[in-house]
Amino acid sequence: MIKRAILGAGILATGMWSASSSASAENLTMYCGVDEVWCQQTARAFEEKTGITVDMTRKSAGEIYAQLRAEAANPKGDIWWGGTGDPHLQAAEEGLT
């Protein structure tokens, strides 16, 4: 199961990077669960590649998971990048991602 989750995350990230240049969205909301500098660099690189503005929020994986649960009826984020595995797996099992 963990291998599938990791593979799925890789496919999601690849799809986001390759497909977004043709996407009609002008803004992307990213919840980022890694080092602040990495989050900022990733967001800026995506903006430069696609022209899409990234609204990045840096939180721990547990905080992001809690936010996704709170937003379940009305999601605000577009992508959750990075962080520890367990909250990602919990969110997937609950249908939040």
User: Taking the alpha carbons of 57, 59, 62, 63 in that order, is the dihedral positive or negative?
Assistant: negative
Comparing 7 with 85, which gets the higher pLDDT? 85
Question: pTM, whole model, 2 decimals?
Answer: 0.71
Domains in the chain: ranges and CATH? 2-93 (3.40.190.10)
% pLDDT > 70, the chain: 74
Alpha-carbon distance of 77 to 86, in angstroms, equals 19
Q: Is 29 a residue whose pLDDT tops 60?
A: yes
pLDDT in tens, 11-26: 345 444 444 444 456 9
Residue predicted with more confidence, 79 or 2: 79
Per the model's pLDDT, the better-predicted residue between 97 and 1 turns out to be: 97
Q: Please name the amino acid found at residue 79.
A: I
Please answer whether residues 65 and 42 qualify as being in contact, where contact means their C-beta atoms are separated by less than 8 angstroms.
Answer: no
